[in-house]
Amino acid sequence: MSVRQAPAYQPAASAQHRDDDSDEEALANDYREQVGYQEGHQEDFDSAGGAQQDLHAQLQQAATPLEYGATLETKMQSYDSYCNLFHFILNSDGPVDIEVPSYFWAWDVIDEFIYQFNSFCSYRQKAALNQGSSNAIDEEELAVLRENPGTWGCYSVLNVLYSLIQRSQISEQLAAKKRGEDAAAYAGEYGNRSLYQMLGYFSIIGLLRVHCLLGDFSLALKTLDDIELNKKAMFARVMAANFTTYYYIGFSYMMMHRYADALRAFNHILIYVSRTKNFQKGAQYDSITKKNDQMYALVAICVAFYPTRLDDTIHTALKEKYGEQLTRIQRGGPEALPIFEELFRAACPKFISPTPPDFENPHLNPDPIEHQLNIFMNEVKNNMFTPTLRSYLKLYTTMDLTKLAGFLEVDSDTLRGWLLVNKQRSRQVRHSENGLLEGEVVNSSDLDYAMEGDLIHVSEAKVGRRLVDWYLRNLARTY
């Protein structure tokens, strides 16, 4: 998942944060500041001489999207260019003395770096799987891929991101800010420079994304422990970064079966986009609107697992985009399985493998997307009869297990398994404060039941009702 935009050097943002976060004019000003490209930045770069001018050119190139359909040679040259640039920034004798245009530029560098890494890994994986087929690439390119397993390697990309965070001491600065202390006191020689501070900050968002692409969803959320998720955060001032952050937070929560938290993340960013669509223009917003459908598909999945009331704007858009599919997956049953699979394929990130593929034994290379799909579909299969089960339980306060099994046309042992799974899934961790992995276990259902022998005792879940009330009160807020 990447929200790409045309490269440009935007004016530096004002240090003054707006107090009224709900004011749409403030949102409009933020956006105009981001996309209101001004002339003169390239002239400023060209006025520098010698090594400085060369470094400026490298920085500009690092934020520039790779052309569509670039050759394998170009992709590998781009990797070498990134390695040289980051090596110079991280390993020079002392901090690099250069002013960067704005944090929009810093986001573009990290975003493009990860996008090219993701694209190359997907390309290499398909090349290994398609050997001998009509879709196979030519032998020369296959030979190049075999001979260069370290190009765009997972270890090197993670090493860059972690090194930028460590060198800038951005985690220490953010933690100090949370405690109300002076962040500059923890910045050190490098962290006081805007180049390191901005790249380090967006490297944290980059780690969220990379760990999610690798399928480590808990570690993905853990990386954001030091970032405050509110509308005054640096990432929230960059539309593409804002959208990307909440997408990966929501998706990670969904894969960890924390559907209430996933919906909260998705709703936050979708409401923001809906409120700003009237005054946003350009290629960046066109790209984001295409990603909106993916986000709504994930909302449909979460609502099917965790029925809840949505914001009216989100509910209306969801019905327009996925009304029929939503109805079918909310009914559950075997006929819902292909709909779940279709929605997941359309909305999931382009997962990657942490290791290069085995070109000599293509059959041994697992497809990362298929692997994550299988994990997701196992969860769907375990819960596909939950809607039917709930519809019967709502009719009774006490019911015989054998009688209910007869209604559902299954044996008692199978029904007992369904009831246990449904009971376990109704207990979810809900985030309230501190790290995104932390939270309290609550009952997410409006029904509760207990089994005593072959009797099922059903009652209204008061905790579940309080959770819905809490969710509605906090829907308009951020984390």
Helix (H) or strand (E) segment spanning residue 435: none
- This prediction has a pTM of 0.86
Whether residues 148 and 194 share a domain: the answer is yes
- For the cut 80, the answer to whether the pLDDT of residue 292 exceeds it is yes
State the pLDDT confidence band at 413, using cuts at 50, 70 and 90.
confident
* pLDDT, greater one: 312 or 460: 312
* pLDDT, greater one: 477 or 366: 366
Residue 177 main-chain phi, psi, to 5 deg: -60, -40
Tokens of 278: 């009237």
Whether residues 372 and 414 share a domain: the answer is no
Q: What is the pLDDT of residue 32?
A: 55
Angle at the Cα of 61 from the Cα atoms of 55 and 64, rounded to 5 degrees? 150
Q: What is the pLDDT of residue 34?
A: 57
380 vs 442: CA distance, rounded Å: 21
- For the cut 60, the answer to whether the pLDDT of residue 387 exceeds it is yes
Nearest to 27 by CA among 237, 245, 340: 237
What are the tens digits of pLDDT across the range 141-200? 999 999 999 999 999 999 999 999 999 999 999 999 989 999 999 999 999 999 999 999
Examine residue 161 and state whether it is found in any structural domain, yes or no. Answer: yes
- For the cut 60, the answer to whether the pLDDT of residue 8 exceeds it is no
The answer to whether the CB of 213 falls within 8 A of the CB of 125 is no
Q: What is the pLDDT of residue 166?
A: 96
Q: What is the pLDDT of residue 87?
A: 94
- For the cut 50, the answer to whether the pLDDT of residue 75 exceeds it is yes
Query: Among 173, 205, 228, where does a domain finish?
Result: 228
What are the tens digits of pLDDT across the range 200-251? 999 999 999 999 999 999 999 999 999 988 888 899 888 889 999 999 999 9
Examine residue 36 and state whether it is found in any structural domain, yes or no. Answer: no
164 vs 394: CA distance, rounded Å: 54
The answer to whether the CB of 376 falls within 8 A of the CB of 362 is no
Tokens of 463: 């905790």
Q: What is the pLDDT of residue 219?
A: 97
Whether residues 194 and 245 share a domain: the answer is no
Whether residues 337 and 412 share a domain: the answer is no
Question: Residues 381, 386, 388, 392: is their CA dihedral positive or negative?
Answer: positive
What are the tens digits of pLDDT across the range 252-273? 999 999 999 999 999 999 998 8
439 vs 431: CA distance, rounded Å: 4
Specify the CATH number for the domain of residue 297.
Answer: 1.25.40
131 vs 123: CA distance, rounded Å: 12
Q: What is the pLDDT of residue 6?
A: 41
Query: Among 228, 259, 282, where does a domain finish?
Result: 228
Q: What is the pLDDT of residue 2?
A: 61
Examine residue 8 and state whether it is found in any structural domain, yes or no. Answer: no
Examine residue 57 and state whether it is found in any structural domain, yes or no. Answer: no
Examine residue 48 and state whether it is found in any structural domain, yes or no. Answer: no
29 vs 23: CA distance, rounded Å: 10
347 vs 365: CA distance, rounded Å: 23
Burial of 462 (0-12, 13-18, 19+ CB in 10 A): exposed
Query: Among 184, 202, 228, where does a domain finish?
Result: 228
What are the tens digits of pLDDT across the range 128-155? 888 877 777 888 899 999 999 999 999 9
The top-scoring range by mean pLDDT among 215-229, 284-298, 375-389 is 215-229
Whether residues 273 and 302 share a domain: the answer is yes
Tokens of 105: 């530029």
Examine residue 9 and state whether it is found in any structural domain, yes or no. Answer: no
What are the tens digits of pLDDT across the range 419-471? 888 888 778 888 888 889 998 888 777 777 888 888 888 876 544 444 444 44
Residue 442 main-chain phi, psi, to 5 deg: -130, 165
Examine residue 378 and state whether it is found in any structural domain, yes or no. Answer: yes
The answer to whether the CB of 292 falls within 8 A of the CB of 270 is yes
Total domain count, the chain: 3
Q: What is the DSSP string of 6-23?
A: ----PPPPPS---S-TT-
Q: What is the pLDDT of residue 47?
A: 42
Tokens of 271: 């409401």
Examine residue 50 and state whether it is found in any structural domain, yes or no. Answer: no
Q: Please state the rounded mean pLDDT for residues 317-332.
A: 92
The answer to whether the CB of 164 falls within 8 A of the CB of 203 is yes
Specify the CATH number for the domain of residue 407.
Answer: 1.10.10
Whether residues 259 and 224 share a domain: the answer is no
- For the cut 90, the answer to whether the pLDDT of residue 345 exceeds it is yes
Whether residues 197 and 255 share a domain: the answer is no
Q: What is the pLDDT of residue 7?
A: 39
Domain residue limits at 129: 71-228
The top-scoring range by mean pLDDT among 102-111, 216-225, 402-411 is 216-225
The answer to whether the CB of 455 falls within 8 A of the CB of 399 is yes
- For 309, residues 6+ apart whose C-beta sits below 8 A from its C-beta are 315, 468, 471, 472
Whether residues 411 and 343 share a domain: the answer is no
Whether residues 419 and 291 share a domain: the answer is no
252 vs 262: CA distance, rounded Å: 8
State the pLDDT confidence band at 117, using cuts at 50, 70 and 90.
very high
Three-state SS annotation for 274-294? HHHCCCCCCHHHHHHHHHHHH
Q: What is the DSSP string of 22-84?
A: T-HHHHHHHHHHHH---TTHHHHHHHS-HHHHHHHHHHHHHTSPPPTT--HHHHHHHHHHHHH
Whether residues 298 and 442 share a domain: the answer is no
Whether residues 242 and 142 share a domain: the answer is no
Q: What is the DSSP string of 92-155?
A: SSS------S-HHHHHHHHHHHHHHHHHHHHHHHHHHHTTTSTTPPPHHHHHHHHH-TTTT-HH
For helices 312-331 and 337-347, the axis angle rounded to 10 degrees is 140
Nearest to 440 by CA among 308, 254, 260: 260
Percent pLDDT > 70 in the chain is: 82
Q: What is the pLDDT of residue 445?
A: 73
Whether residues 282 and 391 share a domain: the answer is no
Tally helices (H) and strands (E) across the chain.
21, 5
Residue 457 main-chain phi, psi, to 5 deg: -100, 120
- Please tell me whether residue 372 adopts helix, strand or coil conformation: helix
Q: What is the pLDDT of residue 441?
A: 85
4 vs 32: CA distance, rounded Å: 17
State the pLDDT confidence band at 472, using cuts at 50, 70 and 90.
very low
What are the tens digits of pLDDT across the range 13-66? 333 333 444 444 555 556 555 554 333 344 444 444 445 667 778 888 888 888
463 vs 471: CA distance, rounded Å: 12
